[in-house]
Amino acid sequence: MRHLAYVAPPLEIGLSMIIHTLANARVGLIGNPSDGYFGKTISLTIKNFWAQVTLWESPTVQILPHPVYDPLEFDSLESLESVAVRDGYYGGQRLLFAACKRFAEYCRTHGITLDRRGFTISYDTNIPRQVGLAGSSAIVTAAVKALMRFYDIGEREIPKAVLPNLILSVESEELGIAAGLQDRVIQVYGGMVYMDFARDLMEGRGYGEYVPLDPELLPGRLFLAYTEKPSDSGVIHSDVRFRFRQGDPEVVSAMREFARLADEAREALEMRDARRLGELMNANFDLRRQTFGDAALGAQNLEMIGIARALGVPSKFPGSGGAVIGLFSTDEEGRALHQAYTERGYRFVEAKPAPADEGSHREPNPEERGVPARALPVGHRGRIQITREER
């Protein structure tokens, strides 16, 4: 069960002086993973999961560790081992650090003057870790949005179509994480977006063609199932990325086919053709399996796809693995899916598409921010104080 652990600013900070930004989890509806290979995708944000960043002015620049995801104090050595096995060694604090560094560098090199005010920045998230829902990029996106608001920087200084590139550079260039633009585009734009990353666009102007679509075009309901024992999605990308760069005909052809599926899915959405969209989602997974191979995809991922297909429900990966997304239409189908996944130990939710403003600059409401916890002192390395289970 995921928890939110909200760290409240000091009580003397007025509410009007506190910046809250939010970025929703992303699901790739079709075309992924071709976004990193000059392809095309359609992606959307969902309300179920999000990352939030809180920022307020302070005498110096301080990056607060998350009391759960960036622990440096444990009840015992056994507890330390358990946390390391479950969450690995990389929390969100490094993402904030890299985001602040990259933001400052971008502004300096582009002639954007920043004043010398200090700030304190913290984050929270309920996005399941390492299951391909863009949890890391959500933290970075929310952080960059917060910095832009703090320094009063808008689209004139950093155009909306360019902002995803800046966000991507935090992970790809600062932290060496394999990733594409899809996640950052949808978390900047919100809602549902058709994205064309054609080589001539990317190499010519540096960003793709991004066309917002109405999430209401979805001709059915979406489910999301995921494992609570994930793997690192960056590893799954590695071999195919190398082969693409080497001009491997099979991989190059596959990425073109992913792009074609995205174009056809856009037509299916505009016609509200659920049957055709489902066929294209299944084709997307089949092509991914053929390109990456079963060993790279892993037994759990294949089982999750198999569960949906056994019930006649189209499904595919929303990201790099660890979760599946599918299209269903009736409550009866939903109940059957829920039972099938939970009986095998997977988590299951109906994915609720978020409108465009959910993924842009809306501040999280008090319930989303969780119950305010006592303000943590500077340099605090303690344990979680107040938590709220996800719904």
Give the integer Cα–Cα distance in Å for 150 and 121: 11
Q: How far apart are CA 108 and CA 111, in angstroms?
A: 5
CB 192 within 8 A of CB 217: yes
The verdict on residue 381 lying in a domain is: no
Contact 14, 383 (CB under 8 A): no
Strands 315-316 and 209-213: unpaired
What is the pLDDT, as a whole number, of residue 72?
Answer: 85
Give residue-wise pLDDT tens across range 60-98: 999 999 988 888 888 999 999 988 887 777 789 999 999
Structure confidence at residue 211 (pLDDT): 98
- For residue 326, give the CATH number of its domain: 3.30.230.120
Q: Does residue 67 lie in a domain region?
A: yes
Which of 141, 210, 149, 142 is closest to 179 using CA atoms? Answer: 141
The token duo for 29 is 């509806």
Active centre residues (catalytic): 183
Strands 3-4 and 388-389: antiparallel
Look at the block and give the residue holding tokens 């005909």: 249
Distance CA 218, CA 176 (A): 35
Query: Is 380 contained in some domain?
Result: no
How many H-runs (helices) and E-runs (strands) does the chain carry? 13, 12
Residue 389 in domain: no
- Which tokens in the block code for residue 238? 């590695």
Give the pLDDT confidence score for residue 55 in this predicted structure.
97
Q: Does residue 378 belong to any structural domain of this protein? A: no
pLDDT for residue 44: 98
Q: What is the pLDDT of residue 89?
A: 77
Question: How much helix, strand and coil, in percent to the nearest 5, is found in the chain?
Answer: 45, 20, 35
Rounded to whole angstroms, how far apart are CA atoms 301 and 164? 28
How confident is the model over 326-375, as pLDDT tens digits?
999 999 999 999 999 999 999 999 999 999 865 444 444 444 433 332 23
- Residue 13's pLDDT is what? 60
Angle of helix 274-292 relative to helix 233-245, nearest 10 degrees, comes to 80
The domain of 37 spans: 3-368
Conformation bin of residue 207: beta by default, left when phi > 0, alpha when psi is -120 to 50: beta
Please count the structural domains in the chain.
1
pTM of the shown model: 0.86
User: Does 387 reside within a domain?
Assistant: no
For residue 127, being part of any structural domain is answered with: yes
Q: Is 174 helix (H, G, I), strand (E, B) or coil?
A: helix
Asked whether residue 14 is domain-assigned, the answer is yes
Sites in the chain below the pLDDT cut of 70 = 1-16, 231-238, 357-391
